[in-house]
Amino acid sequence: MVDICFTMMTAKKGIRTYGERVVAAMIKESKQLNDLNVFAPENPANLTDKQKRDAFRAMNLIKEKRCGKIKGRTYVDGRKQSSYIPKEEISYLQLD
């Protein structure tokens, strides 16, 4: 029943299940995020300890679509922002 309800899986589990198809999907997802300038690189040596603690964690998940295509997704765990960013300033953006 769980497999029917939750069709997404971690990239690690996806690689074990689907192999190179997942690697190709995750590379495509990463390239798309890079092309859209979603993330800007930062040198960790230039960050304060507080900035490092407040950094979001990205999660790579994959999904097999009904047509059989593997789709990579990158999600950001935004739970950390609730402690220091007011709800009015939070924007929910989906890049599809």
pLDDT at residue 2, rounded to an integer:
45
Instruction: Note the pLDDT tens digit of each residue in 1-15.
Output: 444 445 788 888 888
Structure tokens at 41: 């690189």
CA distance 30 to 72: 9
Of the two residues 92 and 36, the one the predictor is more confident about is 36
Burial of 8 (0-12, 13-18, 19+ CB in 10 A): middle
Check: CB of residue 77 under 8 Å from CB of residue 55.
no
Which is more confidently placed, 58 or 96? 58
Residue 77: strand pairing partners: 57
Interval 44-83: pLDDT, tens: 999 999 888 877 788 888 888 888 888 888 888 767 666 6
How far is the C-alpha of 14 from the C-alpha of 71, rounded, in Å?
A: 11
- Answer yes or no: is pLDDT of 29 > 80: yes
